[in-house]
Amino acid sequence: MSVPSPTGAVLISLAILLLLFGLLIWHSHLLHAKKCQKAAVKFFSDEPTVRRILSGTGLDDDNINMRPPLKSRAIPNARLIDTFGIDNAFTTSAEKHKTKFKTQTTLLLNRQKGDFGWDRLRDEARKLVQDDLNEHTVPLVPLVQTVTLRLTFAVLFNVDPQTITHEKASFIGHEINRLWLASKASGSAPKWAKQRKFHDTLLSILPNHNPLDRTQNPLNLILPAYETLWRVILRCFIEVVYLCTDTDSCIWRKELQCFFDNPTTYEPDELSALVIAKEALRLYPPTRRVYRNFLISPSPTTPRKGELIAADIEAYHRDPSIWGSEPKTFRPSRWSTVNMPNDRLLAFGAKPFLCPAYNDFGVKMIALLTAALAEGVGKDWALEGKKGVLPEPGQGPMEGGRTAYEDCILRKRKSCC
Question: What is the distance between the alpha carbons of residues 162 and 359, in angstroms, rounded to a whole number?
Answer: 28
In a domain, 368, yes or no: yes
Residue 103 has φ and ψ, to the nearest 5°, of -65, -45
Q: Where are the beta strands (DSSP E) in 89-223?
A: 137-139
Which of these, 417, 239, 232, 216, lies nearest to 330 by C-alpha position?
A: 239
Instruction: Give the HSE-up count for residue 127: Cα atoms under 13 Å, Cβ half-sphere.
Output: 15
Number of domains observed in the structure of the chain: 1
Residue 196 has φ and ψ, to the nearest 5°, of -65, -40
Instruction: Give the HSE-up count for residue 246: Cα atoms under 13 Å, Cβ half-sphere.
Output: 1
Residue 392 DSSP label:
P
Q: What is the mean pLDDT of residues 28-33?
A: 43
pLDDT digits (tens, 9 = 90+) for 69-97: 999 999 999 999 999 999 999 999 999 99
> In CATH, what number is assigned to the domain containing residue 248?
1.10.630.10
Q: What is the pTM of this model?
A: 0.88
Residue 415: pLDDT above 80?
no
Residue 60 DSSP label:
E
Residue 20: pLDDT above 70?
no
Q: Confidence class of residue 35 from pLDDT cuts 50, 70 and 90? A: very low
Mean pLDDT of the chain: 89
Residue 1: pLDDT above 60?
no
pLDDT digits (tens, 9 = 90+) for 219-275: 999 999 999 899 999 999 999 999 999 999 999 999 999 999 999 999 888 789 999
Q: Where are the beta strands (DSSP E) in 284-337?
A: 289-296, 305-312
At what angle are helices 95-108 and 219-241 packed, to 10 degrees? 50
- The residues near 110 (Cβ < 8 Å, ≥ 6 apart) are none
Helix, strand and coil in the chain, % to nearest 5: 55, 10, 40
In this prediction, residue 303 carries a pLDDT of 59
Question: What is the distance between the alpha carbons of residues 370 and 217, in angstroms, rounded to a whole number?
Answer: 29
In a domain, 281, yes or no: yes
In this prediction, residue 83 carries a pLDDT of 97
- The residues near 364 (Cβ < 8 Å, ≥ 6 apart) are 111, 118, 263, 274, 277
Residue 371: pLDDT above 90?
yes
pLDDT digits (tens, 9 = 90+) for 160-209: 999 999 999 999 999 999 999 999 887 778 999 999 999 999 999 999 99
Instruction: Give the HSE-up count for residue 367: Cα atoms under 13 Å, Cβ half-sphere.
Output: 30
In a domain, 13, yes or no: no
In a domain, 183, yes or no: yes
Helix (H, G, I), strand (E, B) or coil at 213: coil
Q: What is the number of other CB atoms lying within 10 angstroms of the CB of residue 281? A: 22
In this prediction, residue 37 carries a pLDDT of 46
In a domain, 21, yes or no: no
Q: Confidence class of residue 4 from pLDDT cuts 50, 70 and 90? A: low
In a domain, 14, yes or no: no
Residue 170 domain boundaries: 42-377
Q: What is the number of other CB atoms lying within 10 angstroms of the CB of residue 76? A: 18
In a domain, 123, yes or no: yes
In a domain, 237, yes or no: yes
- Comparison of pLDDT for 221 and 2, the residue scoring more: 221
- The residues near 282 (Cβ < 8 Å, ≥ 6 apart) are 317, 323, 345, 347
Q: What is the mean pLDDT of residues 118-123?
A: 96
DSSP sequence for 326-390: -TTS--GGGGGTSSSHHHH--TT--TTS--GGGTTHHHHHHHHHHHHHHHHHTTTEEEE-STTTS
Which of these, 169, 145, 170, 154, lies nearest to 122 by C-alpha position?
A: 154
